Every structure is written in C-alpha cells, then in structure tokens.
Amino acid sequence: MTVDFADYFWGEKNNGYDVLYHNMKHGAVASKELAEFLKERSTIEENNYKVLSKLAKQAGSSSSTQGTFAPVWAALRGAAEKLAGLHLQMAQRVTELIKDVSKYTDELHKKHKAVKEEESSTLEVVQSIQNITVTLHKAKDMRMQKGLELEKLRKDNASQKELEKAEIKFKKAQDDYKTLVDKYMGIRNDFQTKMTQTCRRFQYVEETHLKHMKEFLNIYADVLQSNHEQVGQVHIDFKRQCSDMTVDKLLEQFVQSKYTGFEKPGTFEYEEIITGLGEMTSHSQLESNVETPKETSKGANGETGVAGFLRSRREKRKEKKAKKKKDIVETSSNKEEKSDLEDKDDSRKSETPTPEVDEDGFCIRPKAEPWENEKGFYSSSDTDSEDERERKIRVEIKPLSNGGAPMSASVDELRATVENLSLSPAPTGRRGSNNDSDHHMKRSQSVSQQLGGKPSSDLLGLNLFNPSSTPSSASTPTGSHPYAPLQSPPPLSLSPTPQPQPPQSAPPTHPHPRFPDGDLFSEVGDITPALPPKQSASSTPTGSIIIPRPPSRRGEGPSPRGRMSPATISRADSVASLEFRTAGVGVGSSRGPSPLTIGLADTIPLAVAFHEIVHSYFRGTDETRCQVKLSGDMMLSFPAGIVAVLANNPSPAKLTFRVRNSNRLEKLFPNNQLVSMDATQTTVDSTIFEFNMSALTTLLRKQAEQNPSASYFNVDILKYQIKCKEGAGSCPFQLVAYWKCETTHTDLKIDYKYNSRAMASPSPLLNLHVAAPIDGGFKSLNSKPQAQWLQDTNRVLWKFTELSQHSEGNGVGSLKARVELAHGPGNQGTIFTQFNCEGTTLSGVEFELLGPGYRLSLVKRRFVSGKYICDGDSDSRSRYAAPPSNVD
C-alpha cells in the first residue's frame, strides 16, 4: 500500500505541519549521527590493521624462520598481512563513505532551509486557521450564552426594555458568529489546498532522504559483507595451506632450499704398480671423490683394463695438441662428424687388454664417460668444458674484410652455407649391445643423426619434435631466437629398427632426479598382449615409439612372452626428453632492438618457454585404472647483450620472478645453481624465485666466450611435476580399445574423446597419430575412417591434422578397422598415440617478472605426448559392430 502524507496529517488542532517539519529536521540529525557512527567503525578497523600488522611483523621476525617450520611462519605472516590489508581496505572504504555522508548532511541542511522558506505561506495559513478556529468556538459559545439569557428573560416575564436589550446582544453575537463562520470557510479551503501540497512536498523530501540514507546503508552492508567474505577466504586459504603443508612437504621444501649436494664421498682406491713395464711411473694415482666409481672392461683375452683415473695436465695438453693437428688434417680432407670418431675410440678402448702408454711412459687414462658426469637433473656449468668442446663441429668463418661493418646473413645465405656441411649418419650396429656403449654413442650423435639421417641442407627446417642431441645443461647457446615455431611430430615408426634382446643386468647408475618417486608406470614393464598367445608372434619393431625407463630403471630381464621386447634406447632418444634447445632454428625472429646492443639504461627483454609432457596408460574401460604422469620444464632466454650489461654494472638489477598457479604442481625442482626460492613471500598459489646474479653473470659470460656469435642464451630454470586429476581427467586425449581376435580376421574399435578440460585453455591437438599393431599375417584392411597399413611395422595408422571441440562430433568419435589375416588368430596389442599442442599448457602455470630492469617479450607454451598407450580388456567377449565392407 502506497503511503500518502496528505491523508494522515490533519486533525482538530491542525498540527500536521509541525509534525512533518520536525520530522524533516530529524533527518538531518540522523545523517549527522550516521557519519559519527561510521567514523567510530573506521577507527576500529584502523586499530585492527595496526594490531594485525604488528602480529605479522612478529611472525616474520621469528627466530625459527630458517628451519623446517619456516613455511608455516610464512603462511602465518601471509595470513596476518592479508587480514591487516583487508581491515585497512575496509577502513578506507568506510572513510570514503563518511565523506559522502557528510557531504549529504550539508546538502540536506541547505535543502531544509529552502523548504522552510518555500512553505512559509502554508505556515501562515496553518496559524490563521488555528486562530480562527479558536475565535469561532468563542463566538459560538457567546451566541449560545446570549440566546440562553434571552430565553430566561422571556420566561421570567422581564420588562420590555430588558428584552430588547438582550435581543440586541443576541443578534450581535449571532452576526459575529456568522461572519467568523464565513471567514473560517475561506481560510479552511486555502488551508486544505496548501496543506495538501505541503504534505506531498514533505513526503518527497522524506522519500529522497530515506533513499540516500538507505543507499549509504547498502554501501556499508556491502563493505561489511565483502570484507567478511575476504576474511573468510583468507581463513580458508590458511586452513588449506596448513593442510597442504604436511610433514613430508615441509621436509621436502627444506631439503630443496638448503640441500648441500647429492653425491656421497667417493672411495679412495690404491693402484698396484705394474712392474713389468719399465716405462710406468711408480707414483700411484688416487681417484677424486667427486668422480663416479671407476669401471672395468674386459678384453677378448680376459685381462682387465683400468679406467676412471684423472690424467695429468701435461697429458691433456699433449692430447689436445695432437687432436688439434688431427682436426686440421681431417677438416681439409673430409667433414665427417666427430661422433663417429669418438665411437670408434670408445670401441677400441673397450677391446684393449692392457693400459695404453704415451711416449713419456705415463699411463693414458681412457676418456671419462660424459654421460656419467651429466646424469644429474642440472649439470654444472663446468660440464660444458673439454668434453663438450670436443663434440662440437669446428667451423671457422673468415671475415670478408678487416674493419668492415657487421654482416647480416639472409635465410638463403644461411641455407646455402649449411648445405656445404656433411653430417655422417648415426651407426646402428651397436645399439642395444651394452647400455654404456649406447650412452657413448647417443651422447656423441649430432642433431641430424638423431633425426634419422636428415640431410644437412635441411637444418633450417629441423623437425623439433625429435629429441635434442645435447645433454641437459645449465645453458645452451643458440644463434637465433630459441622459440621459433615448433613443427609437427614425425610419423609413427615408418621404418623397422633392429631390436636385440636387452642385457640381463645393467650397470649401477645414479637415479635420475627427473622422476624421483620411481618409474612412470612401474607395472607396465614391456608391452605385451593381454590375451594368451595362440602362436609365436613375430617381433614388432617399436623402438622409435616406446619410451624406456631412465638408465637407473631399465628392464632387468627378457620379456615374459615369446615376443621380443623393444630396443632399449638412450634417454636422449625418447619422446619424453623433448626440449626447447633445438628450437633455436628460426632466423630473423628477434623483436625490438638488437639483442647484441643493450645499454646499461635499457630494459632487458627476456623470453620464457613452458614445455610439458603427458604420459598416460589406458587399460580397458575402467577409467580408474588409467595411469597418468605430467611433467614440464621452464626455460628462460637471455639476449647476448645482457653479458656486457652485467659485466659492466657492479650492482645489476635483481632478477626476480613469480610462478603463479604453483598450487597445481606436485613437485618443483629449481635450478639451485642459479635461482633460489623466497619462502617468505611464497603463497599457496604462487612461488617467488630470485636469481643469483653473480652465478648468472658467470654462466652467461662463459657461454658468450664459447659461442660469441650467439644472439640468445637459453637457461633451464625449473622442472616440475603436475598434480593429476582423478581417472583420465588430466588426459587431453582419452582412449578405450575393444579387440575381437578371430581365426580369419582381427576387429578393432577405438573410442576417443578430446578433453579440453585437461588444458589451461582449450587448444587443438595437432599431428595426432594413432597406431595399433596387428599380428597374424596381413591380407587386407577395411577401416573407417580411412587408415593406412604400415607393412614394415605391421600397424594400422590413423592420422589427424588436428582435433578439437570444433571437429566432427565435437571431438568424440570411433576408429574402426578389420584386418583380414593369413595366419590367424592374432593377439591384442598396445595402441600408441602421439600428438602435440601449441599455445597452452596442462598445468596452467604462469610466469611474471617482479621488479624493474627487465621485461617479458615472449611467452611460448606447448605440451606433447610422451608414453601415451592404450590396452584393451583381456576379456575376449568384447564385441562391437564391424565397419562397413566398402570404405571410400
């Protein structure tokens, strides 16, 4: 019901105007008192801010902030600081509201004055009708009195003179009363008109006042609610932090930030003097405690050759001189790569029954195993010394003229220059014979060899999906921008690969810290069919797809089945070892000013790349049996000009960065040689790291000296493992396989689904390949959609350029195939999948620079498939509809 003041403020005494006017005055008082109330509340919030700030400072200055309890103190301080900030924020918002209320109070006071002046005429009418009402009542009483006196005289038979005199008085009182009644009616009509207008005016003023006051109250209530919700969120975050900081996690963070090394002290071994050789020195040599234990290799006659001892500096100098002369002769005659020479040297040393002796009579120590020294998650900057220089191609570029301007080679010129280089193909005869020799071979291979003998003329178009030939080092200089567009992965196993039986036992090696918690799929082992064999299956070459365990977790025996297990290849060959180091093939991709000319006052541009790998194993239709492992790394690219800036600046700007969404990571492994985690500023969803500027300067200067022509230097900063969702929720491409193995044919159905929720932002899967091995003798293939048969590897292969939610069926579909067999029935096999995705990540982690002096010029994100396999249920009753007989 709508309220109208004009209906409620009348009455005999006509006091409605006074009530309305005083009510209007009370509104001004209420606004003033509301401002005072808000001031008191703001004072309370300021006091809370001061108290909580003091508490946060106390938590930050605790003497136990350096121990294992340090993350808890950081969480307490962070929560107190957030609460203090929220109270300060509320105090500021309330102060702003106070200003609005005070301003409104002043305006309301002025408005009330204006209303009083405008309604003065109504006040006069009110006073007039009040006065005439009193006078009218008196006149009415007077008339009644005179009339009663006249009636009394008549009853008492008074004289005529008295009667006439009484009648005159009565008539006069009656006339006065009548006149006042007429006057009252005029004033009454005027009063009703003006009072109605005044009531509506007062009602409008009061409604406007109440709207403003209610608006202030709503703002205040919103401030209270917002502050309450934010305070509650801080409490929830703090509770989550406390839950996440388990005892194991606290210990893990402590050892990551304070660890002093992984290598235990080595043993000293005594070397017997060989008295039969007169040229041998009588001094025994001790092995350094930082070297790995020496290894022995037996020759054909059973004698043992000693390896693992340090050479003297004189021997190194002599060997360097001899090698330099040898290089000069070889580069003039042919340009074969040094990897083949090193392989030959390794094989020759393994066959030598006795130690070699130089011309001075000293025992020549065989070359140290570079793989053993570089198995660590991050190798030291010293590892890129003699061994690395020996493996590099020696290229001498003579200037066109002395003192000339710097040359800027075009793409065609670079391609023409590269075509003159001849890189020998990688030998494959020794693959799988011995793990150690395999390490030697793979460590010395060039990029073109690992790409399957790709000709040198195509170096500018290297397929970056293939693994890098260089080990994981702290820095890998490249001559162009490191984040050139990445190309598609190669097809699955287009050529057969020899598959010798793996050795019965592998030499002991240090565990690789990339997967510190054990094998990726400990129960997978060698891939074998799920159903019992119905005949002896032939060997299926899968060496180019299957990703083996790291060296410390090799298979220790032959496959339990009759089928031969895949060839054990080095970790550098696995798809899981994809790195951005080979991405530096883009020519002319620099942005902004030249990276070689950075001034001391310039902001240094940096580029960052996130590269992640997803391993998945689908088993049957039960999603809970799916095994997933996600890992990734982050790399920073520094321009070459930063070397001069850091060298000439005694106090360079501190390089600090934040990794946001780090709560989605399970484990984080920073490069402790270069960066350190700031536990005091780290929160539940972000982690802050600081660079050791002196170590960074030393590293970049060393890389600049080794490769002065490089424009950028890539540095590995972080490795991490990503938290997996339940089931297959973290898999961007989900699979379920159904097999039906008959005597004359094998039916296969693969249901697939594109899962955009596994990514930080939806992005299509590129170069998607799905391959299924079929044994039993191939006769014909009938598939839907169209697939191709790989005769060399006995596989059915489906290829998709890309797959996304915009594809046919919204990224959901089935692959069907029927293979007619000559020697059936066949067996169920393991389905292999590979793909890559650009522009997004699985973890959603973000990189953010903190502080001045640096800017982020480029961010590259991608993820690829690693060991992505699928097995069907072992139940042979699985059935499905076969594809139509005629497939276009």
Question: What is the token pair recorded at 129?
Answer: 């009708």
For residue 759, what are the domain limits?
731-840
* Token reading at 644: 């001069």
CA-to-CA dists, residue 539 to 527, 566, 649, 740, angstroms: 12, 9, 62, 21
For the chain, the residue count is 888
* Residue owning tokens 């291979």: 445
- Name which of 320, 257, 268 is nearest 291 in CA terms: 268
Rounded CA-CA distance 440/423 in Å is 18
Residue whose pair of structure tokens reads 């001075």 in the numeric block:
360
| Residue 793: closest CA among 498, 561, 465, 562 | 498
Phi, psi of 873 (to 5 degrees): -70, 150
d(CA 162, CA 572): 143
Instruction: Report phi then psi at 687, rounded to 5.
Output: -125, 135
8 A C-beta contact, residue 497 and residue 567: yes
Q: Looking at residue 296, what is its pLDDT? A: 39
**In DSSP terms, which residues pair with 633 in a beta bridge?**
611, 719
Within its chain, how far is the Cα of 881 from the centroid? 43
DSSP single-letter state for residue 599: -
Classify residue 591: in a domain, yes or no: no
Closest CA to 548 of 615, 611, 489, 488: 615
CA atoms of 526 and 556, how far apart (whole Å) = 11
CB neighbour list of residue 794: distance below 8 Å, 6 or more residues apart: 538, 540, 773, 774, 775, 778
Nearest to 578 by CA among 605, 610, 551: 610
b/e string for 731-748 if b means 16 or more Cβ within 10 A? bbbbbbbbbbbeeebbbb
* CA–CA distance, 96 with 219 (Å, rounded to integer): 11
Q: What is the pTM of this model?
A: 0.40
For residue 582, which of 698, 449, 387 has the smallest C-alpha distance?
Answer: 449
CATH number at residue 224: 1.20.1270.60
Sheet holding 675-677, edge to edge: 675-677, 686-691, 656-660, 846-850
Contact assessment for residue 867 and residue 546, using Cβ atoms and an 8 Å cutoff: yes
Check if the beta carbon of residue 857 is closer than 8 Å to that of residue 607.
yes
pLDDT of residue 539: 37
Residue 758 CA: distances (Å) to CA of 486, 619, 630, 725: 21, 19, 11, 9
Strand partners, 614: 630, 865
Estimate the crossing angle of helix 120-155 against helix 160-244, to 10 degrees: 140
Please give the Cα distance from 775 to 817 (Å, whole number): 14
Owner of token pair 């929160």: 683
Residue that finishes a domain, picked among 196, 226, 244: 244
At residue 700, the 3 state secondary structure works out as helix
- Identify the DSSP state of 432: T
User: Angle CA(862)–CA(868)–CA(874) in degrees, nearest 5?
Assistant: 160
pLDDT of residue 456: 34
What CATH number should be reported for the domain holding residue 813? 2.60.40.1170
Q: What own/partner pairs with CB < 8 Å and gap ≥ 24 does 298-303 have?
A: 299/350, 299/351, 299/352, 299/353, 300/351, 300/353, 301/353, 303/353, 303/354
Last residue of a domain, one of 244, 263, 278: 244
Give domain status of residue 184, yes or no: yes
Beta strand pairing call for 854-871 and 604-619:
parallel
Name the residue among 62, 85, 86 with its Cα closest to residue 73. 62
How far is the C-alpha of 197 from the C-alpha of 165, rounded, in Å?
A: 48
Number of domains in the chain: 2
Query: DSSP letter string over 219-257?
Result: HHHHHHHHHHHHHHHHHHHHHHHHHH--HHHHHHHHHHH
Residue 532 lies in a domain: no
CA angle 227, 242, 682 (to 5 degrees): 75
In angstroms, the CA 700 to CA 713 distance is 7
Is 680 domain-assigned?
Answer: no
Hey, which residues does 864 pair with through a beta bridge?
A: 613, 836
Q: Could you count the other beta carbons within 10 Å of the beta carbon of residue 780?
A: 11
Q: Is residue 378 part of a domain?
A: no
342 to each of 366, 372, 447, 492, 796, how far by Cα in Å? 12, 16, 16, 30, 39
- Helix or strand (DSSP H, E) at 833: strand 831-838
Pairing of strands 812-821, 745-754: antiparallel
Q: Which two tokens stand for residue 763?
A: 């992005």
Tokens found for residue 588 = 């002319």
Short-list 588, 488, 502, 601, CA closest to 551 = 502
Which of 187, 211, 244 is the last residue before a domain boundary?
244
Angle between helix axes 16-60 and 70-118 (nearest 10 degrees) is 160
Q: Where are the beta strands (DSSP E) in 226-382?
A: 296-298, 304-306, 356-357, 363-364
Rounded CA-CA distance 565/792 in Å is: 17
Question: Up-side HSE of residue 44: CA atoms within 13 Å toward CB?
Answer: 7
Domain assignment of residue 810, yes or no: yes
Q: What is the pLDDT of residue 64?
A: 67
What pLDDT does 21 receive?
A: 87
**Cβ atoms of residues 472 and 673 within 8 Å:** no
pLDDT at 257: 82
Phi/psi for 454 (5° steps) reads -65, 130
Tell me, yes or no, whether 804 lies in a domain. Answer: yes
The string over 826-849, giving b where at least 16 C-beta atoms fall within 10 Å of a residue's C-beta and e elsewhere, is bbbbbbbbbbbbbebbbbbbbbee
For the chain, the straight-line distance linking the first and the last C-alpha, in angstroms and rounded, comes to 76
The token duo for 602 is 């310039």
Torsion of CA 241, 247, 250, 255, to 10 degrees: -160
Neighbours of 175 (CB within 10 A): 12
Residue pair 827/639 in contact (Cβ under 8 Å)? The answer is: no
Answer yes or no: is 394 within a domain.
no
CA torsion 592-840-633-697 (nearest 10°) is 10
Q: How far apart are CA 422 and CA 449, in angstroms?
A: 11
Name residues of the chain where pLDDT drops below 50: 1, 275-317, 325-326, 328-354, 368-392, 398-491, 493-594, 596, 876-882, 884-888
* Distance separating alpha carbons of residues 122 and 14, to the nearest angstrom: 12
Contacts 24+ apart (CB under 8 A), 723-726: 723/630, 723/664, 723/665, 723/666, 724/628, 724/629, 724/630, 724/666, 725/758, 726/624
